[in-house]
Chain A
Amino acid sequence: MKIVVCVKRVPDTTTQVKVGPDGTSLDAAGVTFANNPYDEYAVEEALKIKEKTGPGEVIVISVGPAEAAQILRNFLAMGADRAILLKETAPGRDNFGVASALAGEIKGLAPDIVLCGKQAVDDDGAQVGAIVARLLGMPVVNTVTKIELAAGKAVAHREIEGGHEVVEVSLPAAFTAQKGLNEPRFPSLKGIMAAKKKPFEEKPAPAAEPRLTVIKMEPPAKRPAGRILGKGVEAIPALVKALHDEAKVI
């Protein structure tokens, strides 16, 4: 099995977001970047599938700045076989721009399986996996918590409101990983050493005409300052009154 996993470098989830001087993007000063958490599930699943199905290759690929090389190395240390960085010089690529760059590169690799995270926790689109899949002419199963392979087919469980769909697709196919799919392994010291010698390819990401342009970024609307109504059960009448009179929700 040849498996391609799309991975993204994102701000750590504890980041306090500040709008940058351009007014349209994140102020990256002082921000720590990390693997997109959902992509860790995707890479883990790829490694598991490879371990189960015998000889194969796990290729990690990212569209991002030169610094994104670090997260590709993190995934090589986890066990991926080689990495491709499609370097971009300006941020702000929309989800089609990312997907078309990825699909262009993945096409030449002719994988059996493409894995993505269900969502990148920076722009929170949850769209790139499906766009890549469609551009490659593959079916996609989004937000999966289980993948079972059998003779050119896959059956995947996909989370929906209050339950899950059991979806059958023929391979090649794409999947986007939801939490619960597996427990990502930690890179071992040996893995970290080995990662330094694994093939690492870098090339410029092809230009893409923008479809969606951010014209403004702002902090979210501030919530009005809250009130402590009191201590323990004695505060209950005040809460019921506030919910009735002010919030008008009951």
Chain B
Amino acid sequence: MNNDQYLLAIETSCDETAVAVIKNETELVANVVASQIESHKRFGGVVPEIASRHHIEQITVTLEEALQEAGMTLDDMDAIGVTEGPGLVGALLVGVNAAKGIAFARQKPLVGVHHIAGHIYASRLEKEFEFPLLALVVSGGHTELVLMKGHNDFEVIGETRDDAAGEAYDKVARLLKLSYPGGPEIDKLAAAGEPVIDFPRAWLEEGSFDFSFSGLKSAVTNKLHNAGQKGEEFRPEDVAASFQESVVEVLSTKTKKAAAAYGVKQVIVAGGVAANSGLRARLLETFQETGQELLIPPLKFCTDNAAMIAAAGAVAYRQGHRAGWDLNAHPGLDLEEYGKRGRN
């Protein structure tokens, strides 16, 4: 009797059409990502309708490729997982309905997965979780500190009160006239610059693990504007380095304090901004000192992919979480509420 568990997962929440197959929660068998980044470049950001159109064009191709890569058929799957939210509603709908179509056609259980849970579980593809753990989630839409005391047990202990860190990156990239997506471009520039400008750090009130990046965003705007009027000029490398220094210092300091306050065993960095080399280096330094284990997924698992959805979905499936045929896309799905489903 074969007790291996296989789950196929679909991710279409933003601008990547992705399908993955996972074995026993942590062994990746196939991972296919069709990126649309080139199609959105000329618009300077993701256009939801265009993203949705690409998803419907790519979905069956990506499914076929993933099964080929796995050398398996749908018969071998125990369940189908899909990103249910958060994300762009039109984009999510393609994945959700494709997942339902497959699950119904082959009479397989269906599991809805939270996108951020996926980003966190990307780290489990590399190393087994040890609880309690703390996840710093940083992406275009999210900046959160999430405490986990067990599988699918999420407590958001800090979150952004205005902009996500990724949004600030995009805004500053536009000010510096960098190409889309701006985050990696700033990271590259920053490496060649010096943090000579003292941009503000939003610490908020004592003991708070919340974030705020809108003040930093306007500080950069004003600084560049005023300099321009006085005929001064900053090297873009130095602006990028100074901006990144401010973001990285706030993120790493708050993460360090939260990790100490909750006595966690592991610290996970998740989301697209986890690919940032400045942030990676600072966090490595920080947690070398404290001795807490730092898990940062490899670059390919930081950006959106289905391997992470499969990793999170397989745990939800084991915990008994099942979606009905009326599963919908939930662009504002709450992480804590989502986690409770599987455990009830």
A and B part of one assembly:
no
